[in-house]
Structure 1
Amino acid sequence: MKKLTILGATGSIGTQALDVIRKEEENFSLVAVSAHSNWKSIINILEEFNPSYVAMTEINAYNEVVKYCRDRNKKTSVIFGMEGLNAISTLHEVDIVLTSIVGMVGLKPTFNAIKAGKDIALANKETLVVGGKIIMDEVNKHKVKLLPVDSEHSAIFQCLSGNSKDEVDKIIITASGGPFRGKKIEELQNILPEEALKHPRWNMGKKISIDSATLMNKGLEVIEAHYLFGLDYDDIQVVVHPQSIVHSMVQYKDGSVIAQMGTTDMRLPIQYALNYPKRKTVIGEKLNFYNMENLTFEKPDLTTFKPLKLAYEAGKAGGFAPTILNGANEASVELFLNKEIKFLQIGNILEEALNKFHSSEDLSIESIIDMDKKVREYVFKHFKL
């Protein structure tokens, strides 16, 4: 039986991971969970799964969970803040940590979990985007498994299975195109957050949905793939595939292409990562090829969706550039969701931040966190209404 910590248990990935555990309760024991402010969902998790540890990163939510545990005489340890995230990521009894927190906050607990010898099921793009080399060095040093949960990287991971990296020509990351696929700049001038949140295929959290609308999510995935699979950026291609049936592909030097296909159900890559190297009975629906619509593929529009182009540039620049890109994006998305900037300003802010801040090679976890803070402060100061 595998013993799990879930960082971000109340978000989209976390809640779907709980579905997997329900389906395979004989295979998994949920030892610890975290959330930011959704204390009501955490209480539901405590009632159903009775984990030994909970970490909350918002003080009022932390107090509510502490009160609940005290009133019910529960033995669950409730820990606050980053200290709590680090504590539940490094527990002696835990085998695997699912990191499904959204954003930079996932970097440090993931790093500490790897140092503690834990296998990682990674659903936090930002960890590899900002700290890729440091993280992969630790993975190799401690000989832990880093198992991708994002559907695209899970697909590539599966397509590479049994083959040598030397035989790979390129990897192909598919993108749905988001809610504004095919739109031009002039059509996106007055887009509202509620429009950008309407993803045509996937049910995701707010931040990731906006990243999908700008194609920034594909940019983050390109940088993540560079570190996960050790390929040059010129060998990582993004293709728009609106049906979201082909989750990604690998083209080999002989011209053969291996694709991984499946339904638009994130429980499938979660289940694969948590059970790796075994495959378990499907938790959702299987593909029905008789009912499948046409599969189409398009070149992304890098002029309209500037963040994807900037992500390639930041990845190739290296150093702090991916951190600068990511920090500016997280701050810009927050401003857009609060209706304090326009949709197209997101790409412009990313470009301005990349031009303003120096991209050094002197990287550490602390220097990355410091740069991220500076970038966010700059964006909020100069662009917030």
Structure 2
Amino acid sequence: MPKKITLLGSTGSIGTQSLDVIRAQGYEVFGLSAHSRTDLLLRQIETFHPKVVCVTDLDAAGRLEGALAGRAGAPVLLHGAEGLRQLAAMDGPDVVLNSVVGIAGLGASLAAIESGHDLALANKESLVTGGHLVTQAVARHGVKLLPVDSEHSAIFQCLQDAHSARSLTKILLTASGGPFFGMKADQLRGKTKEDALRHPNWNMGAKITIDSATLMNKGLELIEAVWLFGLPPEKIQIVVQRQSIIHSAVQFSDNSVIAQLGVPDMRIPIQYALTWPERGGPVAPELDFAALKVLTFDVADEETFRCLAACKKAIAKGGLGPCAANGANEEAVKLFLEDKIGFLDIGRLVEAVVDSDAFGGSYDLADVYQCDRMARAFVHSHL
């Protein structure tokens, strides 16, 4: 029997590429969710025939309900944040793939895990904002957490041998450096959203592309790696690899290093998360070593790109520090995309919220959401 997949966030960049993989593998779609892009979601429904769909924006849910009215075989329609959690928890799929953007994905991740589903995780904010909640739930329910981000997938692939995992001493987390690599603060001051959205290697959604430009994305991935692989942040080194061919590497007790390489195509790590522990067929072009002349390495400039520095401070503080950094960043990026703040203001605001409190100690899910609201309010009060 083909695997059944519930895909949360099906209309985004990761979502649409996930459906490419699902189609190529001959998998079935049990459920789909989107926030507001009902035109694309409707086409996906017509192609993949899910049993259940969820639209989290209530106005958009009303539009889709009207479009589906009277259709034979129409899926069950859920709506809102609670509908997303219901879909994630439903019996039926073999794997839930969460590619929702932002902290909105945390509740769905926990719902999937607590319902006994293996979780393919592309929503890095689940671990950034609620790392100990997610990892404790995974241990308690005995499910598998399968990373989808290209960097974490690379590390995961390098650690499939149990002996290797026990010998791990360092993670080399690669970064493209984004569109502004090598620039200093004076050069970044006037950069616009159009400038920041021109990523040199990857085709991604607007929010994650801005995060790549600020290096916030790499800070979030560092925090995520702490939770996924159990190393302290000082054992995770950010390495700029401009060509985005080496997706990350691991170093062992004897100082040998193993890396995962491939063309910059998200369908490779998406497929590995869905087919694990097996590998599927080719879903992306082959890496041509005859044409690959240069691989370069550099260090990330956290003195200029303050989001990365803020994330390191946040994970060092622990507790809700990463949640505060994430909430401030989500709000600041939204304001930047609306042309209401400058590019450098994003890093200034994220670092300021992390510096504003201690954030240590234990927390529950309600605390996470309260911290997120506080961080967003902090941004608006410090414009």
Interval of TM-score (by shorter of Structure 1 and Structure 2): over 0.9
Which amino acid in structure 2 is aligned with residue 271 of structure 1?
Q
Is the 2:317–2:358 Cα contact (8 Å) retained in structure 1?
A: no
1 CA distance for matches of 2:184 and 2:367?
A: 38
Is the 1:321–1:354 Cα contact (8 Å) retained in structure 2?
A: yes
1 CA distance for matches of 2:234 and 2:381?
A: 35
**Cα RMSD (Å):** 1.0
1 CA distance for matches of 2:86 and 2:79?
A: 10
2 CA distance for matches of 1:96 and 1:281?
A: 19
Which amino acid in structure 2 is aligned with residue 89 of structure 1?
A
Question: Structure 1 residues 166, 22: CA separation in 2 closer, same or farther (over 3 Å shift)?
Answer: closer
2 CA distance for matches of 1:355 and 1:312?
A: 12
1 CA distance for matches of 2:52 and 2:9?
A: 13
Is the 2:349–2:382 Cα contact (8 Å) retained in structure 1?
A: no
> What SS is found at the alignment partner of 2:158?
helix
> What SS is found at the alignment partner of 2:91?
coil
2 CA distance for matches of 1:331 and 1:315?
A: 20
| Structural mapping, 1:281-292, within 5 Å | 281-292=281-292
> What SS is found at the alignment partner of 2:105?
helix
Is 1:147 matched with 2:146? yes
Shift of 1:381: 4.0
Structure-2-length-normalised TM-score:
0.98
2 CA distance for matches of 1:205 and 1:293?
A: 29
Structure-1-length-normalised TM-score:
0.97
Shift of 1:302: 1.1
| Structural mapping, 1:96-135, within 5 Å | 96-135=95-134
1 CA distance for matches of 2:247 and 2:195?
A: 24
> Any gaps of 5 or more consecutive residues in structure 2?
none
| Structural mapping, 1:42-81, within 5 Å | 42-81=41-80
Shift of 1:366: 1.3
Q: How many residues align?
A: 381
> What SS is found at the alignment partner of 2:299?
coil
Aligned to 1:335: 335
1 CA distance for matches of 2:261 and 2:303?
A: 29
Which amino acid in structure 1 is aligned with residue 89 of structure 2?
T
1 CA distance for matches of 2:119 and 2:298?
A: 33
Is the 1:324–1:357 Cα contact (8 Å) retained in structure 2?
A: no
1 CA distance for matches of 2:337 and 2:67?
A: 32
Aligned to 2:207: 207
Aligned to 1:219: 219
Is the 1:248–1:259 Cα contact (8 Å) retained in structure 2?
A: yes
> Any gaps of 5 or more consecutive residues in structure 1?
none
> What SS is found at the alignment partner of 1:344?
helix
Aligned to 1:265: 265
Which amino acid in structure 1 is aligned with residue 296 of structure 2?
T
2 CA distance for matches of 1:205 and 1:75?
A: 29
Aligned to 2:82: 83
User: Percent identity at matched positions?
Assistant: 46
Aligned to 2:3: 2
Is the 2:96–2:112 Cα contact (8 Å) retained in structure 1?
A: yes
Shift of 1:296: 0.5
> What SS is found at the alignment partner of 1:296?
coil
1 CA distance for matches of 2:186 and 2:226?
A: 33
